[in-house]
């Protein structure tokens, strides 16, 4: 069986490599190179780099138009395998694959349909997560389910740590589905539309902390938006990223302005008042500086102890 693989970010790489071990990957569809970094130099998607190492043809169209469809058809693929490609496939494109199309989605569908399911899972405080292998449909993430794998959450996961884990779990589950599809020995189950929830694209602004929110929600933001866009606030008008934080046990007993730094704690770091509870900051990063543990940061910026975090850039 010949497979066209579609994917772009790091989470897709284990699936590409695993699928390439069991079937013929005739081509890889990924996003175009984009400007990156301060120099705005073009940077290739990591999936492209992996495909080149496999010596597999790479397609990087801006749009899936007729010319792209003709190029894909010439590769004679049987099945489309997708992991976080970033575009919706239209009916004309899907018709190119006689064995259909499958997608690996890092959530327990129908929960968290959309482009950012891992941050959405953390922000919602879900008790469990997992990966879903589904048939691709014209509606986003609404296709029938072939397989799911579940795992409980501790409440300390970050998007970075979950992405790494679920990329490996998903690759193995996806490979199993591809083999069964090749053998014609797998059934799919329709999703429960009444249980569907949705998540949207994440922007830089989503990471801005509102200190009137409860500490538990800000803690989720810190973990959900690591590594991007980062949960951030402002210290005297300069952007300050909160990279690691923790919740202090107990509720709020002192009437203190949200965002006010209340002191330090040996275990929880720099203590900040929220709308409900206290957040302990253990790793932080001032704009244009390197990340620092709270003690190191405090040595260089002792004035933080008398400050109120928040506001905007000056």
- Least Cα distance to 158 among 108, 126, 119 occurs for 119
pLDDT in tens, 131-185: 999 999 989 999 999 999 999 999 999 999 999 999 999 999 999 999 999 998 8
Residue 44 pLDDT exceeds 70: yes
- Strand 128-135 relative to strand 261-265, pairing: unpaired
Is the CATH code 2.40.50.140 the one for domain 2-195?
no
| Nearest-angstrom CA–CA distance, 97 and 2 | 10
Residue 314 pLDDT exceeds 50: no
Confidence class of residue 37 from pLDDT cuts 50, 70 and 90?
confident
Average pLDDT value for residue range 74-85: 97
Residue 249: per-residue pLDDT:
84
- Model pTM above 0.85: yes
Residue 27 pLDDT exceeds 50: yes
pLDDT in tens, 269-281: 999 999 999 999 9
Peptide bond before 110: cis, by omega within 30 degrees of 0? yes
Gyration radius of the chain's alpha carbons: 22
Residue 58: per-residue pLDDT:
98
Mean pLDDT lowest among 32-36, 90-94, 292-296: 32-36
* pLDDT > 90: percent of the chain: 90
Q: Which residues of 208-246 are buried (b: 16+ CB within 10 A; e: fewer)?
A: bbebebbbebbbbbbbbbbeebbbbbbbeeebbbbbbbb
CATH number for the region 204-306 comes to 3.10.25.10
* pLDDT > 70: percent of the chain: 97
The residues spanned by each domain of the chain are 2-195, 204-306
Average pLDDT value for residue range 90-99: 96
Residue 313: per-residue pLDDT:
62
Residue 138: per-residue pLDDT:
87
Kindly report the average pLDDT of the chain as a whole number.
Answer: 95
Average pLDDT value for residue range 217-245: 97
Residue 255: per-residue pLDDT:
63
Question: By the 8 A CB rule, do 302 and 259 touch?
Answer: no
Q: How many CB atoms lie within 10 A of CB 149?
A: 16
Residue 41: per-residue pLDDT:
86
pLDDT in tens, 184-193: 889 999 999 9
Average pLDDT value for residue range 48-75: 97
Angle, helices 13-22 vs 46-53, to 10°: value is 30
Average pLDDT value for residue range 83-89: 93
- Strand 24-29 relative to strand 2-7, pairing: parallel
Residues 6+ away with beta carbon under 8 Å from 39: none
């Amino acid at each position: 069986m010949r497979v066209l693989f579609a994917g772009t970010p790091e989470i897709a790489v284990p699936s590409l490599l695993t699928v390439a071990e069991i079937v013929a990957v005739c081509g890889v569809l990924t996003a175009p190179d984009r400007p990156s970094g301060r120099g705005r130099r073009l940077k290739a998607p990591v999936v492209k780099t992996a495909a080149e190492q496999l010596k597999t043809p790479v397609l990087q169209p801006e749009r899936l138009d007729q010319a792209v469809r003709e190029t894909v058809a010439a590769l004679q693929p049987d099945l489309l395998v997708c992991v976080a490609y970033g575009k919706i496939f239209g009916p004309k494109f899907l018709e190119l694959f006689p064995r259909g199309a499958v997608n690996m989605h890092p959530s327990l569908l129908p929960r968290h349909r959309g482009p950012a399911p891992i941050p959405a899972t953390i922000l919602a405080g879900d008790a469990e997560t997992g990966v879903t292998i589904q048939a691709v449909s014209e509606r986003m993430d609404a296709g029938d389910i072939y397989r799911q794998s579940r795992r409980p959450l501790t409440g300390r996961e970050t998007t970075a740590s979950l992405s790494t884990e679920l990329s490996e779990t998903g690759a193995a589950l996806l490979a199993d589905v591809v083999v069964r599809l090749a053998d014609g020995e797998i059934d799919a189950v329709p999703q429960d539309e009444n249980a569907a929830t949705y998540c949207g694209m994440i922007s830089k602004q989503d990471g801005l902390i509102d200190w009137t929110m409860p500490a538990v929600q800000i803690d989720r933001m810190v973990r959900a938006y690591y590594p991007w866009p980062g949960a951030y606030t402002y210290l005297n008008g300069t952007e300050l990223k909160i990279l690691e934080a923790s919740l202090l046990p107990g509720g709020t007993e002192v009437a203190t302005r949200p965002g006010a730094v209340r002191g330090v704690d040996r275990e929880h770091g720099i203590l900040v008042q929220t709308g409900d509870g206290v957040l302990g900051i253990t790793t932080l990063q001032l704009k244009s500086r390197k990340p620092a543990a709270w003690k190191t940061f405090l040595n260089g910026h002792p004035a933080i102890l008398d400050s109120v975090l928040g506001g905007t850039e000056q």
